[in-house]
Amino acid sequence: MLLTSRRYSVADPVEAIELCFEKGWTDGLPVVPPTEERVRAMLDAARLRPGDQVAYIAHRAVSVTAEKVAINAVMAGCRPEYMPVVAAAVEGIGEPAWSYHGPGTSTAGAAVLTVVNGPIARELDINAGDNLFGPGWRANATIGRAVRLVMRNVCGSRPGTLDRGTLGHPGKLSYVIAENEAESPWTPLHVERGFRPEQSTVTVMAAEAPHQFYNQLSNTAEGVLTTLADDMRISGNVMGQPQYMLVIAGEHMRTIAKDGWIKADIRRFVFEHTKNSHAHLRRTHRMAGPVKPGDEALMRPLVESPDDILVVAAGGRAGAFSAYIPGWGSKRSSQAVTKEVKR
C-alpha cells in the first residue's frame, strides 16, 4: 500500500539528519532518516497498514495514522519490533480518559510515563532494573522518544506553541520502564488493571519527574513506607489529587514483601499516611483562605482513593531507594490508561 507522506530528496544520511533539524522535526537530538524501506519495516512488524488510524486526538481533531507513527518511530531509533509498543502507547494517549489536550499542552509540563508489562518487555529487553530511569537501553530510550516525536510532529505539541510546559522535565525525551515481573513477589500492574499475565500491555500516565526517597534504616514494610509517605505527603499538585505511581526497587521490595504486604496493603498504608490537614494546607498557601476552627483535624487525602496509587516493582537490586511519581494535574483531568500490545 502506498505511503502518502510528502517526500524530500537529500544527497546522503548526514544531509537528511540536518534537514530534519531544519524542519523542526526533532527533539534536539539527531534522528535516523525515515526512508521508505525503514518505515515499511516498522509497519510490517506491527502488521499495520499505512492508513490505519492508531489514535484520534479529539481536542485537536487530529487522526494519528500508522504511517506517521512509523515514520516517527524510525526517526527515534526504534527497532521494527518496538513498533507494536509504540503504537499501543500512542493509542493510550489518544484515549478520552488520558485527555490529550491537558497533559500535552499544560504549563505543568507532564511527560508520558510508560510502563511495559508482560512477555514483550523481556523479549525487547526493556530495562526493569539498574539505572531504571537512566540511559543505556535502546528500547527504553527510543520507544518514549518515538511517542514524544508523534506528539510533536503529528499532534502539534511543540515547545512554546501547543506545548507550554513552564519547566518540563527530562522524562519528556523518553520515560519508559518495564516492571520487574521476574523478581517481583507481587501481582503485575497489568494484571491488577484487568489483563492476563501472558498479555503484553503498555500503561501510560501523564506524570512529573520521579522523586527518589531514601530509607536505609528500616527492615520493616511499615518503616520504609512511613518514610515514603512523609516524603510524598507534600508533592506534586497537592490540591489537585492526581494519580501517583510508586516504583519500588529491589531492597525495599524485599523488605516490604518479607512482612507479607501485597500491593493493596502498600496502597492503603500510603493513602492513610499522606493526608494533610486543612490547617497545614492553608498555612502553607496551598489552600485558599485563613485557617478556620476545626482545620487542624480536617484531613484532605493526597489522592482520591487508594486505587489512584499505581504500584510497580522496578529498579536495581542494590540500594535502599525507591521513587514516587506524581501524576499531572488532577485525576479529573487525566487518568492512567492501559492498552494491550497487539502483535
Please say which residue, 102 or 315, places its beta carbon nearer to other proteins: 102
How far apart are alpha carbons 204 and 216 in whole angstroms?
31
Minimum distance, C-beta of residue 280 to other proteins, in the bound complex (Å): 18
Please say which residue, 164 or 193, places its beta carbon nearer to other proteins: 164
Please say which residue, 84 or 329, places its beta carbon nearer to other proteins: 329
DSSP bridge partners of 338: 203
How far apart are alpha carbons 54 and 171 in whole angstroms?
23
Minimum distance, C-beta of residue 25 to other proteins, in the bound complex (Å): 5
How many CB atoms lie under 10 A from the CB of residue 291?
15
Minimum distance, C-beta of residue 144 to other proteins, in the bound complex (Å): 16
Minimum distance, C-beta of residue 165 to other proteins, in the bound complex (Å): 14
Three state DSSP letters for 10-29 = CCCHHHHHHHHHHHCCCCCC
Which long-range CB contacts under 8 A does 53-59 form with residues at least 24 apart?
54/87, 54/90, 54/91, 54/94, 55/90, 55/91, 55/93, 55/94, 56/94, 57/94, 57/100, 57/101, 57/155, 58/96, 58/100, 59/99, 59/100, 59/101
340: its cell numbers: 494491550
Minimum distance, C-beta of residue 138 to other proteins, in the bound complex (Å): 20
Please say which residue, 23 or 49, places its beta carbon nearer to other proteins: 23
The SS3 assignment for 318 reads coil
Please say which residue, 190 or 331, places its beta carbon nearer to other proteins: 331
Please say which residue, 62 or 291, places its beta carbon nearer to other proteins: 62
The SS3 assignment for 185 reads coil
Minimum distance, C-beta of residue 84 to other proteins, in the bound complex (Å): 19
Minimum distance, C-beta of residue 184 to other proteins, in the bound complex (Å): 33
The binding site for other proteins (CB under 8 A) comprises: 3, 5-13, 16, 19-20, 23, 25, 33-36, 39, 59, 61-64, 67-68, 71-72, 75, 99, 101-103, 106, 149, 153-154, 288, 329-330, 332-334
User: Contact 63/56 with Cβ under 8 angstroms?
Assistant: yes
Distance set, CA 19 to CA 8, 116, 151, 159 (Å):
9, 33, 19, 19
Please say which residue, 273 or 300, places its beta carbon nearer to other proteins: 300
